[in-house]
Amino acid sequence: MNYKVLLPPNIEFGIGKRELLAGKILEFGNRILLITGESSFLESGNWDQIEKSFKTNQIVFELIRVRKEPTPEIINEAVRAFSGYDPDVIIAIGGGSVLDAGKAISAMLPLKEPIINYLEGVGDGRSHPGTKVPFFALPTTSGTGSEATKNSVISRVGENGFKRSLRHDNFIPDLALIDPELTLHCQENITIWSGMDAFTQLLESYLSTSANTLTDAIALSGLEMIDKFLERVVNDGTDLEARSGMAYAAFCSGITLANAGLGIVHGFASSIGGRVDIPHGLICASLMSVSNEITLNKLLKEDPDDPAILKYAGVGRIFHGSSDRDDMFYAEFLINKIYDLTLKFRLPKLGEFGLEPDMIPGILKNTSNKNNPAKLSESEMKEILIKTI
Ligand SMILES: [Fe+2]
């Protein structure tokens, strides 16, 4: 056992925790910049309640709406518009895109420079000093786990597009306030795609070549919740127990992905997401079955004693709810289970969203296979893409 793990410093998790928000803000000051997404949150009773508590506590706010995955331009424009505002805290209430946008704005506001200079693999190699405005994350979907991570994903979609991170240990939110009631308004398709994203993140970080004892424990705990609650929350989005379980699973996935890394599904999510405008969760959900099948087959072919095979089997035992069969049975059961979910959730092929065969060579060139338990060849990666188009 030899590892470094970075955990969020302050976590408030539970139904009704949003009522703590005003008090938490006042620990830093009374001037905030609020980042939200689509209108569903602002139109909900939750927002009325939060706005009222701001008034009672004389908290003043300015608002930025982020309606898609953040681009360098969205972040630069927000920094330009609010560079004279000097907020005490930046609060993001929304899905992964909103949390990532808030995280990036909190990091770029003190520097007042274009964000592109600091993006991994795109900028001019400058490293961010880690200075930022204090940042709180309140997720309204259960997926990316951005409330627990030190990176913000920024995209520019197109032929020379990218999807890259602004990253620093200091960028972990100063407060992760996770109130499952905030996820009750999440639409069915977003519930499915974000839930599958959390599932992928937990499984990939559990199988990752950089996993450690602590991330394994957290990943397994999250996977147990996926088993119990993913199908339940899709069947009934008002089921608060299921919403809580999924919020917990997504949060766990943020911790494990930030510390153990991810696999081939997220390698593709980066390269495909930089090329075609497809929601991140949908890319992951659509790729998950075939990617894991090809990875498991490669592991079995190369070394039947590879510990990753036992990990597949362990997760299969959780989903099957038994333990008296052999490892191969459970490893294969897990793959079949993911295929079943793909059908049950009617996950579309990515071709329906604009991914075309002539984009494959460019995508393969930009896809990282780094922490995947099996090192896939170019032809194996191509097979995944062809089966997903
Ligand atoms: Fe993801």
For 214, phi then psi, to 5°, come to: -75, -45
Domain ranges of the chain: 11-183, 188-388
Comparison of pLDDT for 370 and 381, the residue scoring more: 381
CB atoms closer than 10 angstroms to residue 125: 9
**How far apart are alpha carbons 177 and 80 in whole angstroms?**
28
Residue 144 has pLDDT above 80, yes or no: yes
For residue 231, CA distances in Å to 185, 186, 279 come to 17, 15, 20
* C-alpha span between 22 and 55 (Å, rounded): 10
The answer to whether domain 188-388 has CATH 2.40.40.20 is no
> 276-334: per-residue pLDDT in tens?
999 999 999 999 999 999 999 999 999 999 999 999 999 999 999 999 999 999 999 99
Residue 158 CB: number of other CB atoms within 10 A?
Answer: 11
Say how many Å lie between the CA of residue 55 and the centre of ligand 1: 36
Residue 332 · residue 293 · CB < 8 Å: no
- 338 pLDDT higher than 80: yes
Give CB contacts under 8 A, 24+ apart, made by 377-383: 380/294, 380/298, 381/264, 381/268, 383/290, 383/294
* CA–centroid distance, residue 266 to ligand 1 (Å): 6
Say what percent of the chain tops pLDDT 90: 94
Give residues with Cβ within 8 angstroms of 85, minimum separation 6: 31, 33, 62
Is the pLDDT score of 40 beyond 80?
Answer: no
DSSP state of 261: -
**pLDDT recorded at residue 43:** 84
pLDDT on residue 42? 85
201 alpha carbon – ligand 1 mean position (Å): 6
Q: Cα(52) to centroid of ligand 1, in Å? A: 34
**What average pLDDT score do residues 1-6 get?**
92
C-alpha to C-alpha distance for 200 and 139, rounded to whole angstroms? 18
Handedness of CA 339, 280, 68, 50 (dihedral sign): positive
CA 280 to centroid of ligand 1, rounded, Å:
6
Counting residues of the chain whose pLDDT is more than 70, the rounded percentage is 100
What is the C-alpha to C-alpha distance for residues 146 and 218, in angstroms, rounded to an integer?
A: 16
Among 3.40.50.720, 3.40.50.1970, 3.40.50.1240, 3.90.170.10, what is the CATH number of 11-183?
Answer: 3.40.50.1970
Q: Compute, in angstroms, the gap from residue 245 CA to the centroid of ligand 1.
A: 18
Question: What pLDDT, on a 0 to 100 scale, did the predictor assign at position 146?
Answer: 98
Rounded to the nearest whole angstrom, what is the distance from the C-alpha of residue 100 to the centroid of ligand 1?
12
Ligand 1 center–CA 59 separation, angstroms? 34
Whether the predicted pLDDT of 39 surpasses 80: no
250 C-alpha to ligand 1 centroid (Å): 10
Selection from 385, 366, 374 nearest residue 121 by Cα: 366
pLDDT tens digits, residue range 169-227?
999 999 999 999 999 989 999 999 999 999 999 999 999 999 999 999 999 999 999 99
For the chain, the farthest-separated pair of C-alpha atoms sits apart, in whole angstroms, at 64
Task: Provide the mean pLDDT of the chain.
Answer: 96
Q: What is the pLDDT of residue 44?
A: 83
Mean pLDDT of 31-48: 89
**pLDDT tens digits, 97-133:** 999 999 999 999 999 899 999 999 887 888 999 999 9
Ligand 1 center from residue 85 Cα (angstroms):
32
**Centre of ligand 1 from the C-alpha of residue 82, in Å:** 29
pLDDT band of 244, cuts 50, 70, 90: very high
SS3 162: strand
Task: Tell me, in angstroms, the distance from the centre of ligand 1 to residue 198's CA.
Answer: 7
Dist. CA 381 → ligand 1 center (Å):
18
Determine the distance separating the centroid of ligand 1 and the alpha carbon of 49, expressed in angstroms: 31
156 pLDDT more than 90: yes
Q: Ligand 1 centre and the CA of 335: distance in Å?
A: 19
